[in-house]
Chains A and B, each alone.
Chain A
Amino acid sequence: MSPQMMKFKVSGLVADLMPNIRLIQTSGHFMLHYHADNSGALHTLRLGYCCAHLVFMLLQYGSNFVNLIFERGDVNDLAANTITVLFFTHCITKFVYFAVRSKLFYRTLGIWNQPNSHPLFVESNNRYHALALKKMRQLLYIIVIWTSFSAIAWTSITFVGDSVHNIKDPDNENETITEEIPRLLVKGWYPWNAMSGMPYYITLIFQIYYVFFSLAHANLLDSLFCSWLIFACEQLQHLKEIMKPLMELSASLDTYVPKSADLFRAPSATSQDNLIESDYNAKNEELKGVYSTRQELGGHFRGGALQNFGGGGVGPNGLTKKQELMVRSAIKYWVERHKHVVRLVTAIGDAYGVALLLHMLTSTIMLTLLAYQATKITGVDKYAATVLGYLLFALAQVFHFCIFGNRLIEESSSVMEAAYSCHWYDGSEEAKTFVQIVCQQCQKAMSISGAKFFTISLDLFASVLGAVVTYFMVLVQLK
């Protein structure tokens, strides 16, 4: 029976991010997995859909570029066209990048398919999972609304003001006259005359599609990256929260009695075993995180019935055998979960790092040119609005991933404080050395780097913003 005929069930990150994934697939990215029916005909159809999008995007991009070359005489036009070309370079880069490196994205999406679980900490896990889900949805709404708003604003500003450009007067070399050009969203070169009539409307509709889908391509991929970071941060919050009960669990019976009712909750009714999509992550042998309660504790574990410690003798820490076993299993859960988060963050960095590097390179050049353009603003008119629009959009894109990268750095380095703030001094020797090694590891914060060149954090955003303001001030002085 071929795998495609199996009942399609999603789990882990894929299930959480399904709306994101569906939107990404609709917008034409090359994400061909995660469909219920993946038979040959439908697969080819979807592939064709993506390739059609790619062809249209490249055609319009090429047309922009050709226009750039034709209008390179005038410095103002050259600057403006370069900014437009660079702006759409982001979108094309992200489109092509995803198509080329989609394996890494699938691997990252599949990492959380088999998380371990522990009956003590199920409630906390579910709570933070729900929190992460809520935040990811909110982010998606904001991104979708922002993209639509930008596309609509761009379309509406096209119909304001004159649609002209300056060219040299053919009669007199030193003068420039204004010539009318088609009223379109983006200046492009077309082999047909797009001034009026049917060709004009077709070109207009094509450009509206192009602008909307380009913005969607870039923003949706960025929001996927940020959603991953949100998930990782909420998992770290979960780990921080369960550190305290874990320490209390290992405290000696005579110094501190844990509040059993809080610690022991009945295991959740739904099974923790998720169906694994066999063909998507066959190579994930590193996942040793599968944790089976029965196997670990032998037959001793009965949910909720561990409140009587009358059974075995008292161990070296003043703990009974059963309690020591419980502590060991809880520590194992904590460490394995933390290792899983580290694997997730490494996979995110591998998948998206190069894209971030390319984004920052293009953004730097574009923002420098925008600073130059901003010095030529004379009043509140269409020119000012477009320059400010570009500037705000570019800075917002950079801010978008910088803020979540920063949050990851903060969360991962605060694990050490959480470990310190619990009653570690009451714990057993084993628990204390566990805290020590965890503190050693968590001193170095987990961060996403742009292919090792720089770290994604609010420092990066501040330096970009500072650079733009500096260039602007310097250029205004030189004028």
Chain B
Amino acid sequence: MIVQMVIDRKDLTKLTETLLFFMTHFTFLCKLTNFVNYKQKIFEVEDMLGKSVFYGFPHTQLEQLKGKIGSCNLIAKIFRVLCVLVILFYVLVPYLDENEEMSLPLPGWLPYNTTKYYYPTVVFQVMSVAVSAYNNSTIDILTWVLITVASAEFDILKESLKNINYKSDDQNTNSRNIQIYFKNCINHHKEIMNLVYIIEDIFSKGIFLQFFASVIVICFTGFQMIVVPIPSIQFIFLVIYFSCMMCQIAMYCWYGHDVMTTSDEVGQFFYMSNWYESDPEIRQSILVFLERTKKPATVTAGKFVTLSLQTLTAVSTQSIISFFIKRKTFL
């Protein structure tokens, strides 16, 4: 594909088409390299999640965790379906395209005559695209599910904080029990923050590249959508591809925002308990804990961009504005 781009550098339309697919595959390769590098850390995360501090809760609270992960899985399935549609269209486009005979799904320069070995080449390209799309979506879904686990753990923490009864009946054991409960909550909070930090450490570079590439891909897809005639199969393919890319960014932003808001509310849920009936000794610990809860747990993309709904709004409005400007200049 790189050779194709060099050949086509004069023709803007063809160049953007090649660049489009190139960016996706390049990003995927980078994400894969990143994932393989941090293999050790992922095993660490797995071990960490098995610690009792995350699972020592009554059954009802753990049900919440299951519910949240269930909804994440559903969204992941929808995303997978979208990817499968994209691959399907990859295959169909050369067949239903009336302009060129024997065109390949992917633009690229190959060192042999493609018409002679047409079918093997098509099969090879489709296979490679399918495998890469599957792996790409798997890495994405893994990130989303891990972030959802952290956010569900925050919910459980908030419920436990709200339900602590600080009123001690002037007995030593009772006030010591309250202190133990409270220390458990603090410990839990520390561990979840650690978890989010490690997740961010592992996936941050990949997410940043994904963001960067997605933004470029969205620009170029927008451009292609203007150039390609509307009722053709290529247009539908571009629309589906565009929505797939948007969906990827949107999901990252949504889950990042989710974990940020749930961790922000920890202080507020603590306030909802009967803390004013607590003993003066425990109030010192409460104050230090509240200071920590002021800073929410954020997931960033390479420390540049925080994943949140504000970022998503900014990206969408920018892409819409650039779409209209491109339309104005090219038509």
Query: With an 8 A cutoff between CB atoms, is A434 at the interface?
Result: yes
Chain B residue numbers with a CB within 8 Å of A452 are 257, 261, 309
Query: With an 8 A cutoff between CB atoms, is B228 at the interface?
Result: no
| Contact B280 A433, beta carbon cutoff 8 Å | yes
A216 vs B77: C-alpha distance when bound (angstroms): 43
A268 vs B272: C-alpha distance when bound (angstroms): 29
CB distance from B265 to the nearest CB of A (A): 10
The A-contacting residues of B in range 135-174, CB under 8 angstroms, are none
The residue in chain A whose Cβ has the minimal distance to the Cβ of B261 is A452
Chain A residue numbers with a CB within 8 Å of B261 are 452
Query: With an 8 A cutoff between CB atoms, is B26 at the interface?
Result: no
CB distance from A106 to the nearest CB of B (A): 22
Query: With an 8 A cutoff between CB atoms, is A443 at the interface?
Result: yes
Chain B residue numbers with a CB within 8 Å of A208 are none
Q: Which of A24-32, A77-85, A134-142, A331-339 contacts B (4 or more CB under 8 A)?
A: A331-339
Partner of A440, one of B257, B264, B287: B287
A444 vs B310: C-alpha distance when bound (angstroms): 19
Known: A436-B287, A443-B294. A429 touches B271 (CB 8 A): no
Chain B residue numbers with a CB within 8 Å of A328 are 276-277
The residue in chain A whose Cβ has the minimal distance to the Cβ of B279 is A430
| Contact A437 B277, beta carbon cutoff 8 Å | no
Binary contact track A430-458/B, C-beta < 8 Å → 1, others 0: 10011011001101100000001110000
Query: With an 8 A cutoff between CB atoms, is B183 at the interface?
Result: no
Interface SS majority for chain B:
helix
Question: Count of A residues near B, CB < 8 Å?
Answer: 19
Binary contact track B284-306/A, C-beta < 8 Å → 1, others 0: 00110011001000000000000
| Contact B277 A453, beta carbon cutoff 8 Å | no
A253 vs B309: C-alpha distance when bound (angstroms): 54
Query: With an 8 A cutoff between CB atoms, is B177 at the interface?
Result: no
| Contact B290 A440, beta carbon cutoff 8 Å | yes
A437 vs B267: C-alpha distance when bound (angstroms): 10
Query: With an 8 A cutoff between CB atoms, is A374 at the interface?
Result: no
CB distance from B269 to the nearest CB of A (A): 10
The residue in chain A whose Cβ has the minimal distance to the Cβ of B273 is A339
| Contact B277 A441, beta carbon cutoff 8 Å | no
Query: With an 8 A cutoff between CB atoms, is B128 at the interface?
Result: no
The residue in chain B whose Cβ has the minimal distance to the Cβ of A436 is B287
What is B's interface to A at a CB cutoff of 8 Å? 257, 261, 264, 267-268, 271-272, 275-277, 280, 283, 286-287, 290-291, 294, 309-310, 313
| 27 pairs of residues in contact across A and B, judged by CB atoms under 8 Å | A335-B275, A339-B271, A339-B272, A342-B268, A430-B280, A433-B280, A433-B283, A433-B287, A434-B276, A436-B287, A437-B271, A437-B287, A437-B290, A440-B267, A440-B287, A440-B290, A440-B291, A440-B294, A441-B267, A441-B271, A441-B290, A444-B267, A444-B294, A452-B261, A452-B309, A453-B309, A454-B310
